[in-house]
Structure 1
Amino acid sequence: MLILKPKFEFDVSVEAELTPELAEKSLEEIKNFKVWYGNAEKTLGELFDVEKEGDGKKLLLDGDFSKVKWVGTGMDDGEIVIKGNIGANCGAYMKGGRITIEGSADDWLGAEMKDGEIIVKGNAKNLIGCAYYGNPSGMQGGKILIEGNAGNYIGEKMTGGTIEIKGNAGDFIGTEMKGGEIIIHGNCGYAGGDMKAGTIKIGGEFDLLPTFRKSENGWTGDVLVGGEGRILKI
């Protein structure tokens, strides 16, 4: 297991594509791993206290990582545990393994992920499981669980997988959704705009577009795009 702790409070963002594979490297290689601190290239050892326990494929990020971006990018197995908040793009392009965030998460959590599991004990911001701007597909598989609340544009362009939010969410849920499932236990704003397929389940209050038709157990649409997506009340 590899344990990282920030040496000081970061003034600018840190771009660090940290994955569990890093834990298998030697301590010297880990400390010399290159990251970006703002526009300056730094080594991991300059920014973090680094401790290695055995050779297990696991990262423990201990402290405030709210300005650290791209953690878990493209990871395909292993485990990351974050004992605090995490910055943007956590779990982007993820293909396997598990990320547990004991605090809250910034924007673009699990963007375009293909498999694996992300658990957030706190809240998450916007664009969970979405496609990056200009790309055709968002989340394709795996599961994201938010135990708190979430922001806007959840699951935009997603084609598979599951996003579950135990609290409330914002506006524009499942926009251009093409598959998969979004579950919101609380309230949210507008859901399903330009939705073609997939399922959105909502436990609380939400805003329904006039382009959805009533079906036997919910609503089907978005009819403006010939969609057969389903919005269900749970």
Structure 2
Amino acid sequence: MRLIVIKPKVEFVVTVEAELTPDLAEKDVEEVKKFKVYYGKDLVELGELFEVTKEGDDKKLLLDGDFSRVKWIGCRMSDGEIVVKGSVGANCGAYMAGGKIVIEGDADDWLGAEMEDGEIVVRGNAGNLVGCAYYGDATGMSGGKITIEGNAGNYIGEKMSGGEIEIKGNAGDFIGTEMKGGTIIIHGSCGFVGGDMKAGEIRIGGEFELVPTFAKTDDGWTGDVNVKGEGVVKRL
């Protein structure tokens, strides 16, 4: 096993769809360069768009540069580690089953969508739909942990059934919508919380708007009573 370093050769004019996982570190460099990715609508080899080198002996990818237009990084990964020295595009860590992703910049929408296990850490900000279910699917994140050290957008943890999302800054609206389990922790403020929430727990340090269909309890609120929910919302 070895550490693979991947660097963009150019500034991308369209998005790249590349399911880059630590499994690539078990291949030799020439194999990695031939790994197929989409550049817009065109199927190309990874080596056409990125420089690929090997260093060390860990099952690890080091993505060095701006990957903000690269989608599906870490999709379905089950072990190993990815470190991104920059920002990432949409769907990073989708369906993730294990391992760790560290993003030193920002993350686009759908971070950790439907992830089952593992850990994602974002040093910057994240977009919308963190830990959510894809449209038409019944269940979002079911396990693992996502930590966002900055702010995040709307629809955090929609339909999540397990795991933990922690946001150290602020978040947007519709937090925990249709949530079925797991924990969301927001240290800052956010908008509307808990719509159609059935189970799980949301803890908030700052200001927030609670949908009116929650009942007050000794240490917070429970609901959403419209769906006979037993979710818990409380202050940190």
Alignment TM-score, normalising by the size of structure 1: 0.99
Residue in 2 that maps onto 1:119:
121
Q: Deviations 1:106-135 (Å, cap 9, x if unpaired)?
A: 000000000000000000000000000000
1:47-126 alignment runs, 5 A limit = 47-126=49-128
Give the share of equivalent positions with the same residue, in percent.
Answer: 73
Partner AA of 1:232 in structure 2: K
Residue in 2 that maps onto 1:160:
162
Deviation at 1:56, TM superposition (A): 2.0
Residue in 1 that maps onto 2:150:
148
Partner AA of 1:50 in structure 2: V
1:173-212 alignment runs, 5 A limit = 173-212=175-214
Q: Which runs of 5+ in 2 are unaligned?
A: none
Match of 2:46 among 23, 44, 59: 44
- Aligned-residue Cα RMSD (Å) equals 0.5
Secondary structure of 1:115's partner? Answer: coil
Secondary structure of 2:43's partner? Answer: strand
Q: Which runs of 4+ in 1 moved over 6 A?
A: none
Residue in 2 that maps onto 1:231:
233
Contact residue 24 and residue 55 of structure 1 kept, 8 A: no
Rounded to whole Å, the distance in 1 between the matches of 2:127 and 2:219 is: 30
Partner AA of 1:137 in structure 2: T
Partner AA of 1:105 in structure 2: A
Rounded to whole Å, the distance in 1 between the matches of 2:30 and 2:122 is: 31
Alignment TM-score, normalising by the size of structure 2: 0.98
Tell me how many residue pairs correspond in the alignment.
Answer: 234
Partner AA of 2:142 in structure 1: Q
Rounded to whole Å, the distance in 1 between the matches of 2:208 and 2:58 is: 44
Rounded to whole Å, the distance in 2 between the matches of 1:209 and 1:26 is: 54
Rounded to whole Å, the distance in 2 between the matches of 1:87 and 1:210 is: 35
Deviation at 1:53, TM superposition (A): 1.5
Q: Which runs of 5+ in 1 are unaligned?
A: none
